Every structure is written in C-alpha cells, then in structure tokens.
Amino acid sequence: MEDKYIASIDLGSSKFGLCVARINGDDIQIVYYKETPSEGIRTSIISNPMRASEKLKAAVQEAEKELMIHILQVVVGMPRNEVEQVTASATIKRTDPDEYITEEELQNLKSIALETYPLQDPERQIMFGAVAQSFSIDDEIQLVESDVVGTLSSTIEGNFKVFIGNRRATTALDKIFNSLNIAVAKKYFLPDVVARTVLTEEEKNSGVALIDFGAGVTSVSIYQGGIMRYYASIPFGGRSVTEDIRTECSISEDLAEKIKKRFGACLPGKLASLSEKVLQIRLTEPYKEVPVRYISEIIDCRCREIVEAVLYYIQESGLQNNIRGGVVVTGGGAELANFIPLIKEMSGYEVRKGYPRFIFSATAGSGVYSTAATAAIGMVLAAKEDKLPDCVNMPEPQPEPEKVEIEVTDQTEPPVDMLFNPDDFGKPVEKEEKKKEPRTKKVKVTKTKDADKHGFFSVLWTSTKETALRIYDKANEE
C-alpha cells in the first residue's frame, strides 16, 4: 500500500499549528509539526485575511523546505466562537423496507436535515456541521447510529444538533488559501475533532465535559452516550490573561506573555515560597518590581471568570448530573499552572489534562504531544477516517550524473603552491615555462544536469589556468 500525506493547519488566535502526517493503511506517522505566531485572527475568527495570509505563507514555505514537498491542499478548522446551536430533524421513506439500513442512508438523512433547515439570515449564516442525536424506525425510537445500521424499516427519522456559524469567517478562510494557491480539502468543526484526539470511548459514553482553553476562545463540549450533546463558547482565553498582566503591570504584550508562561499560576495561596519572589523588570529607570504573588492574583481573577462561565453553560445544558467521566481540559491554556486544581475546586468534578492519545507515532519532536497540538492532530485523524486524497506532491527523483572522459593536453606540471582563481580565465600567465614534450592525460569529468544548462563540466583537478580554460572550451564543444 502506497503512502499518502495529509496536511492540517490550526488557525489559532495566537499561533498557527501546521501538521503533516504520513498515512499507510491504519498507520499514522506525524512527520512535521510546528507552531508559529499568528496575526490577523481574533477570537478564532479571521479579522485581517491579508496579514494572516502573509504569516501563514512563511509557515507553509518553511514546512515545504524542511520536508522537500509541495503542499497542494490542507484540512482546516472552522471558528469556535459565534456558533449557534439548533436542532433539526428529517424523515425519509425507504423504497425497499426489506433491505438492511446502511450508513449511507443515515448520511443522506443528515444531508437532508441540513439542506432543509431554514436559516434566518442565509447571507450571513452558514452550516458548520451536524451531529446525530437519535434515530427512530418503525418499531423503535431513540436509537443511536450503530443500533440502526442493519435493521429493517419502511421509514427512518433522525434528530440532529446543527451548528451555525458566520459565513464571513469561511469566506475569509477561502480567500487566504486561494492567495497561497492551496486548496482546502475539508473544513472541520473543531470541537468534534479535538474530542477524537483526547477523549476515550469510555469517557464519551459515561459522560464528560471537554474544555478547550485556547488563546482567544474557551469552549465546552459535553458528551454523553458517545455523542456530543451540547456545545458553547465564550470569547475569552489565554490572551485575555496576558492582556490583564500587560495592563496591570504597564509592560509590553510580549513581556507579559513570557512572564505568564514562566511565572504565571492560579491559586496564589498555593504558591508556597514562590509567592515571596519579586520580579525586577529592567526596562525603565528606576527598575520596576512586580511580586510573583500579585501576578498570580491577576491570573487567578481572570481564570475564575472563565471557569464560572464554563460552569454556567454546563448547568444550562441540563447534563450536569450526567458528567460521570469528569472534566477534561485541553488547548494551550491548559498548561497554566494550577488551572486544573482551580477547576476541580470550583466545580467538584474530577479533572484531568487532555493530551493527544498515543494512537499515532511521531518523528516531529515533543511538541506534537502537547495540549496545544490537539486540534491539528484531530484534523489529521478525521481526514484519515474520511479517506481524503493525498495532500502533497513529492519531488521527482533526480537522474544519476553522467560520467564522461575527455583528453586534456597538459604542457606543464601543476605548481604545488598555486591557488586557482576562476576569474583569471583568459589572462596571460606570467611564468617562465620549461619546454616539455606535450603529454596527454585522461581526466574523469562528471557531467551533471546543471552542466547542460550552464555549459560547463565540474573537473576533478586542473593542472594550469590554461588547462582549465581548455576544459571549459571542450565542454562547450560537446
């Protein structure tokens, strides 16, 4: 079975995560993953396509150069913010009730539900996707997809959660990749693909809340019975924490981000001896001193606000008592110190950090196993299941260089201390030469593909400047 490659790009508010995977059957190997700072994206929505395109172009070119490939198409994620959640249903009458119900019929039912749902503002809204909630057949109701396939029925009815987003956001996505001459193979609704990466089947069946703490958006997805039952997002994330530090300490955003990553933590009461440390910022005169505990208090205040909003949406879903698998936190913000204990303290749920599960191998470094990589990895896994075509073009193998032999007439012995300078071609040589009988040597010359283009051979050695010039002429003659 031949290898194929899948490229995915996570367009985050603070970074672009570009991932390339080699697929061979069921084997998935991540061969490239790198994050670069992003521009032109706010709360996961593209606000400035031109600036985002310039940054992304550099990231794509770097990946192509390192892997020696040409990326033809990619899979990308749609924005997580400004997403409306509605319910839709559809019913079909089967032409042959005595035939087994197939997965294709259920997919057609989903397509019908999406096509027939009346958007309130079609010029501004677009369908991001749908998740099947339950199916009903002649004799049974409230069945999941796996229970329906293979049964017999004259009708099928399906109920779906439909996610509606901003059309302008997807138009900007297309604009960016058109400018890069890269096709968009598929757009994915990110909460669903992230869940494939970090959640186990046991967690999704027993009930779990997945919190994706990104830079611009924090979202919560609730799974129960193996199906995503609820989704909500808030336009605050790690960048809001950085902005609070920048404002309160009167420093640059870049310095605030570095301080957050190096010294930032929630729950200032649990900092132990670190709370007594004071940071000296030597950018002004006199030096500015900021206690680590004060930074922690700033972070703790914003993080509590985010967690309270998440818990509000969990309560609003009506599934708060069905979350037996606890809470899983992923995204770059999940690495913030004491953030997991803060959620546990405020919610009472069991909480764990959501890393990519080991369902693939990687040669791309340790970053591919971080919480920030879950979206890019999830899109690769989804694209593999959807059997998308090869996303890259490999360079053609170069032919072996052709070796030829030419005869060179050498009038003199090569001087031992002579340094050959190609710029001296054609200049007279001021050197007394002893008369010697001409002798002929055979010199092996490698003729490369570039030789035909530039009109010269690369020689193994030359005895004199005149000899080198003659070799040049001989190459041109051939």
Q: What percent of the chain has pLDDT over 70?
A: 82
- Residue appearing with tokens 């340790």: 366
Range 186-201 average pLDDT: 93
How would residue 276 be classed by pLDDT, with cut points 50, 70 and 90? confident
Rounded mean pLDDT of the chain? 84
Surface-to-core class of residue 143, CB atoms within 10 Å of its CB (0-12 exposed, 13-18 middle, 19+ buried): middle
pLDDT greater than 80 at residue 394: no
- pLDDT at residue 419, rounded to an integer: 47
Model pLDDT for residues 396-436, shown as the tens digit of each residue: 555 665 555 555 555 555 444 444 455 554 555 555 555 55
Model pLDDT for residues 338-368, shown as the tens digit of each residue: 999 999 999 999 999 999 988 888 888 778 9
Could you tell me the end-to-end alpha-carbon distance of the chain, in angstroms, rounded to an integer?
45
- Residue appearing with tokens 């208090």: 297
Express the helix, strand and coil content of the chain in percent, nearest 5 each. 35, 30, 30
Asked if residues 414 and 444 have their Cβ atoms less than 8 Å apart, the reply is no
The DSSP-derived string for 24-79 is ETTEEEEEEEEEEE--SEETTEES-HHHHHHHHHHHHHHHHHHHT-EE-EEEEEEP
Going by C-alpha positions, the residue among 236, 247, 244 that lies closest to residue 211 is 236
Is pLDDT larger for residue 342 or for residue 391? 342
Residue 207: left if φ>0, alpha if ψ -120 to 50, beta else—which one? left
Q: What percent of the chain has pLDDT over 90?
A: 63
Q: Among the listed ranges 92-96, 262-266, 411-415, which one has the minimum average pLDDT value?
A: 411-415
Geometric angle at alpha carbon 49, from 43 and 55, rounded to 5°:
90
Range 118-133 average pLDDT: 90
Instruction: Tell me the CA distances in angstroms from 418 to 172, 466, 468, one per residue in order.
Output: 63, 13, 13
pLDDT greater than 60 at residue 27: yes
Model pLDDT for residues 33-57, shown as the tens digit of each residue: 999 999 999 988 999 999 999 999 9
Of 214-223, 247-256, 282-291, give the range with the top mean pLDDT: 214-223
Rounded-to-integer distance, Cα 120 and Cα 126, Å: 10
pLDDT greater than 60 at residue 225: yes
- Residue appearing with tokens 């396939």: 149
pLDDT greater than 80 at residue 162: yes
Count of other CB atoms within 10 angstroms of residue 182: 21
Is pLDDT larger for residue 306 or for residue 360? 306
Going by C-alpha positions, the residue among 63, 71, 24 that lies closest to residue 395 is 71
How would residue 449 be classed by pLDDT, with cut points 50, 70 and 90? very low
Rounded-to-integer distance, Cα 193 and Cα 189, Å: 7
Within 220-373, residue ranges assigned H as helices are: 238-249, 253-263, 292-317, 339-347
pTM above 0.85, yes or no: no
- pLDDT at residue 452, rounded to an integer: 44
